[in-house]
Structure 1
Amino acid sequence: MALKRMDNVGIVVDDLAATIGFFRELGLELEGRATIEGEWAGRVTGLADQRVEIAMMRTPDGHSRLELSRFLHPPVIADHRTDPVNALGYLRVMFAVDDIDDTLGRLLKRGAQLVGEVVRYQDSYRLCYIRGPEGILIGLAQELH
């Protein structure tokens, strides 16, 4: 098989520091920060002369990453952060957590907003959607044993 893994999910943000803090509170680790620019970067993205601050966040198991990007140049041209869950394109990132109530409590203190309510899916999961920093849609799932 040619596919090895999914490397990361990219999310464009305006306040990189606040978003890093939020995802740290969730349990992700900051793997590193960098500024991406130069001719090669523009050839990859199709955005000539781009300058982007990025932060790579890693899940505790080391298998998944979020790449948080703040565009310095060119400016951001669209904003779909408040689109509902049935909008086309990026939907949400789902995280498995040990204790959904504890996690939700900590994230609400950092400005998260519950989208609907915490629900039970059969005897398998407790689930909820929240809007995190800058309206990013995040799912939380607690496996029931």
Structure 2
Amino acid sequence: MRALLQRVSEASVTVDGQTVGRCGPGLLILVCAMLGDTCDTAKALAAKVSKLRLFKDEAGKMNLSILQSGGSALVVSQFTLAADTSRGNRPGFSGAAKPDEAETLYLQFAHALRDLGVETETGQFGADMSVGLTNDGPVTIWLDTKAG
């Protein structure tokens, strides 16, 4: 799986003018399930995200995890993270998991974050979403479970 984490003061996602998910201080997490990913992959990624020290401690250093900081998460499906731009000018997305499998893994990732104690909301899989955020830092981290 691939994930792009952005530390935010706030974030929200709307579909057809309705807010379907939001978070306060915490992480906006854009997630893409890739071919070959499993439920174990989703759980491992959630565990990694929950432990990453991306939040400031009292000394202003990034020493706290989302759990330690009391932050929340907004998880949004983003198949374009699978983009292959190695040939030509049009990205290819054949490395992304098929939609049914991708939705299951996306929801398993969000559920695993909740199970770890992170207050988590989601976007709407497959919808044309509008995502708003106030970046904090900015801090943006790229994770790919295949890369280690």
| TM-score scaled by length of structure 2 | 0.26
User: Going by fraction, where is helix more abundant, 1 or 2?
Assistant: 2
* Bigger relative contact order (CA 8 A; separation at least 6): 2
TM (normalized to structure 1)? 0.26
Q: Which has the larger radius of gyration?
A: 1
